[in-house]
Each structure stands twice: as C-alpha cells, then as structure tokens.
Amino acid sequence: MMRKVGLGIIGCGTIADVYMTNLTQHFDQVEVLAVADLFAEKAKAAAEKFGIRKACTVEELLQDPEIEIVLDLTIPAAHYSVNKQVLEAGKHLYCEKPLALKYAEAEELVRIAREKDLMCVSAPDTFLGAGIQESRDVIDSGRIGSPVGFTANMTCAGHELWHPNPGFYYKNGGGPMFDMGPYYLTALIYLLGPIRRISCFTASGRPVRNILGTETETEVPTTYTAIMEFVCGAIGTMTMSFDHWDTSLPCLEVYGTKGSVYCPDPDSFNGPVTVYDGQKLKGIVDAVTAPHPAKIIAMVTNQGSCKEEAKMEFAENPEHRANMRGLGVTDMAEALLDGRKSRMSAEISVHVVEALNAFEESARTGEAYVMKSTCERTEPMGKDWALWEIR
C-alpha cells in the first residue's frame, strides 16, 4: 500500500468542514495530522469533530516534521503571510483561492517555493471534476473546432445572504471577482490556455450591505464586466456580480469554429456538458435546395437536433461526495508520491492572481491590461479518475 502524505490544515472556518470531511473520510492519499486556527477553540473543535490527533498553533503545526503539505484555509487577506510562513518552514503549499491578493506577492511566493523545490498552488480544484474535465475533452477532441469565443458569468445577490461571517467579501481582497473569479478564470485557462489582455468596467450596485445586522459600506466594486482576449485568439466576456438578484446568463460557454460547448458551473465538480454541432446544422441547411425562406425555416426548426449532451466519460461522483473539495490537495499528494507535476500549477495560480488585479487596474485606468505572466494548460485527469479518487 502506498504511504499517506502528512497534511496540516490552517484555518478551521466555514469551508474547512467539507475539506476535513473529505480528507479524513473519503480521500486515502493524505492523513490529516494537525489543525490550527487563530482561535484555539476553533482548531480544538475541528480536531474533535474529525478525530484529528493534534489541534495547535500555526507555529507548532509548521514545526511538525511529519507534515509535508499544508492546506491554507484562512481568509484571502491572510493568505500571503500564512503562505510565506508555510513555504519558509519547508512545507508544500495548497492554499484556498487566491494564492495572494497582489501579483507581486504571488510571484514572491512562487519564487520562494522554487528556491526550496516546493509545490505552491492554490484552489480551485473544481476544474478537476467531471464537468470541466469533460468540457476539456470536447475541446481537445476537436468537436467544436478551434475556440474563437466564450462567455463566463457568475451573478448573485451577495454572500451576506448565506455566509455566517460575510464581512470579508466586501473588504479589499473580497468582491465578486476576487471571490468567484478564480473558478471561472481557472476553468477558462484550463480549457483555452493563458490570457493575453483584459479590459474591464466595474460598478457598485448596492454600496451599503447588511452585514450581520449592521449597515456596512462596501470597500470593493460589486459588479465587474470584462472583455478578455486569450493567447489562442478566443475573445469573450466575463461578468462577476453580487448585485444581480437573478439571471438567465449561462455560467460558461465556449464557441468554436465548428460548434459550441455549454459547460457546467465551474464552481461545482459535476454537471452535464452539452455540445452544439454547427456542422450538423450547416448540413441540414445546405441540403435544402429551396430559396432563402425555406433555409431559414430549416435552420430554426432544426436547432434542437444539433444539441447533444456529451457522454460523460469522466464519471460523475456519488451524491455524498458531490462537493469534492480536497481533490486538488489529494492530486498534489499523489504528485509528490509519484514524482509528477500536480494538475494545478504554480504558474496558473500566479496567472489567476495577476488577472484578478488586471480587472481592477483596467477599470481604474480605462485601458486594456496586457498580461505579463503566462502558463501552460496542465494535464487532464485520467478517465479512470473515479477509481483513482477512492483508492
């Protein structure tokens, strides 16, 4: 049997629960050896709930020689300093998104990691789920031709409606782009490759929010709408908003020279993937020999027949593990054991942080931001991954 990789978790808040459930009960590649939090009682409660042998301070956790990977689940404003401590202690790092708030900080972290030969990546790991893996397979197989466009949208009324401690979402480093953008950017980068340019507008639709009963002024814009160009040539739009009560916008669609792919929500691990076969429609219309109006009728009536749900070759997961957070850190542990690269790369994590700041900068200057960093699309999961994850 393969040995388990020792894992330490810093931050025992809202999202820690699903991570700890999955990493102590469902994923076999790691063993959670210790948990820490600014508040000792939170670490203690988490250790008790999940049967983890040690609840301690951050410093004690980082001194534990059995811990090889540290999972940082603190709030975004704490990521840079916690992550730096983790790397300086010689531990591999997997951080909740984003890796850092500033591009220079993210670069510095990756520089430290390279010097120490450590892995240094950030969430999300939702792109490792069946939905985005299948979408990548559709694109790579050429079914939609070369990607030329896309749209990516996450619009909701605001996280104060559900989060038990929502203040940080409206402070610097929060907002819909920093919070939700990483899911959509990571999926887009994984599907299309690196970004070339970003042009963005921002707005604050409701600049005073009720945070735990107190009317609070927001520090960050709450709607971002951007136009983006990828190095592969695809151009598209991205809207992230905490101002929209409802929407019928798609989460993520990619348009190619031969067809389109409708992808599931990149903030989830699963969901159906639908392919629109433009060549089929062209064939139907070309076969109509009658003049123009008949071709229009053929086109309109046959639209539906050109859409097909992709056969999910990447098996969807059983319901109880639908939220598979922890898959990324597990992939990292397996990469460590197998001497391969992890599927989330330091370069993608940094590219995402640069992009998050680029939206802000473009909105501020009124000019398109040209990306400085770049990255490569990482390897897809093997199609036997459903077996892999329960090993």
Ligand X SMILES: NC(=O)c1ccc[n+]([C@@H]2O[C@H](COP(=O)([O-])OP(=O)(O)OC[C@H]3O[C@@H](n4cnc5c(N)ncnc54)[C@H](O)[C@@H]3O)[C@@H](O)[C@H]2O)c1
Which residues have C-beta within 8 Å of that of residue 338, sequence separation ≥ 6?
Answer: none
Q: How far is the CB of 82 from ligand X (least distance, A)?
A: 5
Which of 80/262 has CB closer to ligand X? 80
Name the nearest CA neighbour of 89 among 66, 62, 114: 62
Name the nearest CA neighbour of 2 among 339, 302, 299: 339
Which of 42/295 has CB closer to ligand X? 42
Handedness of CA 9, 13, 18, 24 (dihedral sign): positive
Which of 38/231 has CB closer to ligand X? 38
Which of 166/236 has CB closer to ligand X? 166
Residues near ligand X (CB under 6 A) are 10-16, 37-39, 42, 58, 73-76, 78, 82, 96-97, 165, 179
Which of 39/367 has CB closer to ligand X? 39
39 burial (CB, 10 Å; 0-12 / 13-18 / 19+) is exposed
167 burial (CB, 10 Å; 0-12 / 13-18 / 19+) is middle
Q: Which residue is nearest to ligand X (CB)?
A: 13
Q: How far is the CB of 182 from ligand X (least distance, A)?
A: 8
Helix runs in the chain, H state only: 16-25, 40-50, 58-63, 76-88, 103-115, 130-140, 175-192, 278-287, 292-302, 327-338, 346-365, 385-389
354, 372 Cβ separation under 8 angstroms: yes
Q: How far is the CB of 19 from ligand X (least distance, A)?
A: 9
Q: How far is the CB of 206 from ligand X (least distance, A)?
A: 21
Which of 16/371 has CB closer to ligand X? 16
Q: How far is the CB of 132 from ligand X (least distance, A)?
A: 16
Q: How far is the CB of 12 from ligand X (least distance, A)?
A: 5
Written as one letter, the residue type at 142 is: G
Q: How far is the CB of 119 from ligand X (least distance, A)?
A: 18
Which residues have C-beta within 8 Å of that of residue 280, sequence separation ≥ 6?
Answer: 305, 306
Which of 179/389 has CB closer to ligand X? 179
